[in-house]
Amino acid sequence: MGDLIAVGLSHHTAPVEVRERMAMSEEAVRDRLERLRLEGAAEEAFIVSTCNRVEVYAVAQNIGLIEAWLGEHRGPGGEPIDRYLYWYRNEEAVKHLFRVASSLDSLVVGEPQILGQVKDAVRLAEESRSLGRVLGRLTRQTLSVAKRVRTETRIGEARVGVGNAGVDLALQIFGRLDDKRALLVGVGEMGQQVARAMVGAGLKELIVANRTYERSVECASEFGGTPIAWDRMIEYLGQVDVVITATGATKPIIQPDDVRRALRVRRYRPLFLVDLAVPRNIAPGVDDIDEAFLFNVDDLTHVMEQGKREREKAAAEADALVADEANRFMARLAEVEVGEHIGAITRRAETIRLEEIERTAKVLEQLDPKQRQAVEAMTKAMVKKLLHGQITHLRNAAREGDAEVIETLLKPWREDRG
Amino acid sequence: MERIPYIAVLVVYAVVLLAHLLPSAVPAGLRERVRLVAGVGALLHLATLAEEAVFSTWSPGLPEALSACSLGVMTAYFFVAHGQQRALGILLAPLAMVALGTALVVPHATVSALDQTDGLNVWLPIHLALLFAGVAGFALSSAVGVLYLYVRDALKKKRFDRIGRLPSLESLDRIQFRSMLFGFIALTLGIGAGGALATASFQESWALDPKVLYTLAVWFWYFVALQARLILGRRGRWTANFSIVGFGAMVFSLIGLNFILASWHSYG
């Protein structure tokens, strides 16, 4: 078997101008896979091509042809592409693929799309019949590792930004947003960020109130929301589930009594208030009210910091898991490969034994059947005992991934065949 | 009580607890099917209870009451523990285990009124089944109430690190309300079935029995909690507090009261 290699470029190594030159359509991927096989560049191959990465995974005796193909590409300034490329071999290549599919190598770590893109790449390769014994096994294992990472670590829950911190808090209170209405008070940048994230998370309706009505209309149209007049803002508190404030007011514009009244109207369903303004727009006393949950900009920062810590922790756990899986995959692969060699060795030994029996056929003919059987059993036992030590060493070396010992043990048999 | 099947049930419940408490100590296959494991345990539990009731000279007392509570709690867990409801498992599995474990060690004492009851009276199993279904509803409601107060407190104190993967406030509130409503309906029907049982079996008046009066007080407590919610809209913390106190009173009624007061329901 040739080496398992991974070569490619990603957002880590190449700017968008380079990535877009390398990006391949499904058709181009099919075409390339076919050519790699026909030209003998790779025994097996598959290609992952997304807007953030183009990677070729291949089993190849000689990487020269793959290098030559990549060498045809140039950067935007005519520079050779190889300065943007990374190469991984065997266990490192396996680990890299596991990391990519588990979204540990993504621009936004934990984003779920990449697994679908890897699945597409596998499907294309299957259709092009370019997956074999090694990559077939590897791609199956990759999907299972990605699933393990997603279920056993919290990598998929990690999100960034003040808007998502607001969404996370809202979800902790409400569980879902698609039946919730929010009131955005003021159209400051931070307020819009939180509103945008909530709309993105499926918010049912956004109502916008701003001192200048025209700006409410403008902002509401951007989010598909409803603008209201500034003086109706307090009245609306009872009709929404989320209140986001971000005005430049120097004194609180929402008082505890306003919230108490709103809660009575809401029959005490919880009201989630996010105050992003400094100085604050919502009087701090609001948080003492039973069903009002008030958070200010510092609280959102804490949520983000905690999210970051959790993301780092989850990524470290996921990395350890991936490294362990990669190691086990290589060991299994070596065991399978050695298993095939052991099969060949056993068959060869049996052929030799039969040849020797054949050679002494004349002498053996003089023996009675019982004696012949004894000779047969004896030769079999000899062969078995002679091979036993070697086979055990081969298996152990495969388990430990010791390629050198494997090679030494196989050498006499290869020469014998040669 | 037959000990061996109950010990087997206890072991199954312990596995459910372990799968929630120390997920890494349990094989992944088992961890993913923990709800199913709980269901199998509850079925075995039900079968043992039913087998005792049908095939042996059954005289229900404190151990049977505790065992039925345990079964109710585990059944409640089975019906609500969708997905990763780890916190619910950590709260309910020990409750079920403590109830069943206590049932195995307390001395057997029969409910005194049963001496006068016609063993074939159809109202007896209906009365018991409804009451213990009610207890299960209230147990779930109070366990979820504890969780609700915990998550609410963490949110109010901005201790986001304490929340982890706990469910949202609204979903906890929904579960605590629905299970309280279920418990209330079962309790109401159970009291009615008890009345029918007493009317059919006993000569004396049953309405002034201290346990009956106490249970009616508990019923009224839940009635107030539900009215506050349905009419005034008081939910969340209110429902949780009512639920926790109500379940405490219910447990006291089941275990303590029967020993303290001379009543038709007393043990022995």
Model confidence pLDDT, tens digit, residues B96-118: 888 888 888 777 666 666 665 55
User: Do A7 and A139 fall within a single domain?
Assistant: yes
What domain range includes position A378?
330-417
**Domains of chain B, residue spans:** 1-109, 111-268
User: What DSSP letter does each residue of A371-392 carry, written as one string?
Assistant: HHHHHHHHHHHHHHHHHHHHHH
Looking at the structure, tell me whether residues A7 and A81 fall in a common domain.
yes
The residue that leads in pLDDT, B237 or B211, is: B237
Do A400 and A287 belong to one domain?
no
Residue-level pLDDT at B114: 62
Question: Does residue A24 form part of some domain?
Answer: yes
pLDDT band at A182 (very low <50, low <70, confident <90, very high): very high
Give the per-residue pLDDT at B131.
86
Spell out which residues of chain A touch residue B168, defining contact as CB-CB under 8 Å.
171-176
- The verdict on residue A248 lying in a domain is yes
**Are A270 and B167 within 8 A, CB to CB?**
no
pLDDT given for residue A303 in this prediction:
84
Nearest-Cα residue of chain B relative to residue A297: B158
pLDDT band at A140 (very low <50, low <70, confident <90, very high): very high
On average, the pLDDT of chain A sits at 88
pLDDT digits (tens, 9 = 90+) for A277-293: 888 889 989 999 989 99
Q: pLDDT value at position B30? A: 78
Residue A347, in any domain of the structure = yes
Tell if the CB–CB gap between B158 and A302 is shorter than 8 Å.
yes
Confirm whether A51 is a catalytic residue.
yes
Residue A320 CA to residue A313 CA, distance in Å, equals 11
B-chain CB neighbours of A153 within 8 Å are none
- Percent over 90 (pLDDT), chain B: 22
- Let me know: does B205 contact B124? Beta carbons within 8 Å: no
Q: Give the model's confidence band at A240: pLDDT under 50 very low, under 70 low, under 90 confident, else very high.
A: very high
- Indicate whether this complex's ipTM tops 0.90: no
Domain boundary among A95, A119, A152: A152
The DSSP secondary-structure symbol of B26 reads S
CB contact under 8 A, A171 and B232: no
Compute the distance between CA of residue B110 and CA of residue B132 in angstroms, rounded to an integer.
17
For residue A135, the domain's CATH number is 3.30.460.30
- Domain presence at residue A361: yes
Claim to verify: residue A20 and residue A61 sit in the same structural domain = yes
Strand order in the sheet with A242-245: A226-228, A205-209, A181-185, A242-245, A271-275, A292-296
- pLDDT of res. A139: 93
Asked, for residue A325, whether it belongs to a domain, the answer is: no
* Nearest CB partner across the interface for B171, out of A175, A293, A295: A175
State the sign of the Cα–Cα–Cα–Cα dihedral B207, B211, B212, B213.
positive
What is the Cα–Cα distance from A276 to A188, expressed in whole angstroms?
A: 9
Q: What is the pLDDT of residue A237?
A: 92
Structurally, chain A folds into a number of domains equal to 3
pLDDT value of position B120 = 54
Instruction: Check residue B110 and give its pLDDT.
Output: 62
Helix axes B237-252, B169-201, angle to 10 degrees: 30
Residues of B in contact with A268 (CB under 8 A): 232-236
Nearest to B91 by CA among B167, B152, B27, B156: B167
Q: From CA A268, how far away is CA B33, in angstroms rounded?
A: 38
* pLDDT tier at A1, thresholds 50, 70, 90: low
For residue A23, is pLDDT > 90?
A: no
**Is A238 contained in some domain?**
yes
Of A123, A152, A181, the last residue of a domain is A152
Q: How confident is the model at residue A158 (pLDDT cuts 50, 70, 90)?
A: low
Q: Which one, of A74, A105, A82, A148, lies nearest residue A324 by Cα?
A: A148
For residues B131-137, give the mean pLDDT.
86
Return the pLDDT at A10: 92
* pLDDT given at position B260: 66
Partner residue opposite A171 with nearest CB, options B158, B168, B233:
B168
Q: Element (H or E) spanning A184, and its range?
A: strand A181-185
Q: Kindly state whether residues A41 and A125 are assigned to the same domain.
A: yes
Within 10 angstroms of residue A310's Cβ, the number of other Cβ atoms is 17
Place of tokens 């955005």: A184
Residue closest to B171 by CA, chosen among B236, B117, B75, B219:
B236
Query: Quick one: average pLDDT of A44-68?
Result: 88
pLDDT digits (tens, 9 = 90+) for A321-370: 999 999 989 888 888 888 888 998 999 999 999 998 888 888 888 888 88
For the segment B50-68, the average pLDDT, to the nearest whole number, is 74
* DSSP state, residue B167: P
Q: Which residue of A has its CA nearest to B167?
A: A172
